[in-house]
């Protein structure tokens, strides 16, 4: 067995983090190093999918739940508009291989991609 991911450890309460939303299958936390006024991570509870490509192929309904919670949180924490980022692969900046969506919102620079 591989070590539990940092997000599994947060979900299990081993590492402190404010869980801002939780459903049966998905939860959300604030990113520890925010890159926007609102920067949340929406994370499936299962650690079985390492990235969004695996998640889309293996459980598209769960991917839809991730997107739905991102939408709800952008409305609750900002004006409803948001940027959804899945870093996919180490070369793209992925550091935690337990799939998660970055939700960036609130005062984004419209012209910037990052
Ligand atoms: P990735 O680089 O894999 O796309 O995103 C991982 C994200 O997890 C990073 O933005 C990083 O700041 C965040 N992160 C890493 N460790 C922790 C932690 O212990 N607590 C929280 N809240 N966020 C974390």
22-52 pLDDT per residue, tens = 999 999 999 999 999 999 999 999 999 999 9
Domain boundaries, the chain: 6-105
Say how many Å lie between the CA of residue 97 and the centre of ligand 1: 11
Q: Mean pLDDT in the chain? A: 95
The per-residue pLDDT for 108 is 80
Q: What's the pLDDT at 40?
A: 98
**Which tokens in the block code for residue 70?**
């991102």
- Residue 113, pLDDT > 70, answer no
How does 79-98 read in b/e, with b if 16+ C-beta sit within 10 Å? Answer: eeebbbbbbeeeeeebeeeb
Share of the chain above pLDDT 70, in %: 94
Q: Does ligand 1 have an atom closer than 6 angstroms to the CB of 31?
A: yes
Question: Which pLDDT tens digit goes with each residue over 64-80?
Answer: 999 999 999 999 999 99
Q: Which of 95, 97, 99, 103 to mutate to test the pocket of ligand 1 (most atoms within 8 A of CB)?
A: 95
Instruction: Place domain 6-105 in its CATH homologous superfamily.
Output: HIT-like (3.30.428.10)
Instruction: Report residue 103 as tokens.
Output: 């939700």
Query: How high is the ipTM of this complex?
Result: 0.99
Q: In which residue are the tokens 């991102």 written?
A: 70
């Amino acid at each position: 067995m591989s070590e539990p991911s940092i997000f599994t450890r947060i979900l299990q309460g081993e590492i402190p983090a404010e869980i801002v939303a939780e459903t049966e299958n998905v939860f959300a936390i604030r990113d520890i190093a925010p890159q926007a006024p609102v920067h949340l991570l929406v994370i499936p509870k299962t650690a079985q999918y390492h990235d969004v490509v695996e998640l889309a192929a293996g459980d598209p309904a769960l991917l839809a739940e991730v997107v739905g919670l991102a939408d709800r949180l952008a409305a609750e924490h900002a004006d409803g508009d948001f940027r959804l980022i899945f870093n996919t692969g180490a070369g793209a900046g992925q550091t935690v291989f337990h799939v998660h969506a970055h939700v960036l919102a609130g005062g984004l620079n419209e012209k910037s991609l990052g």
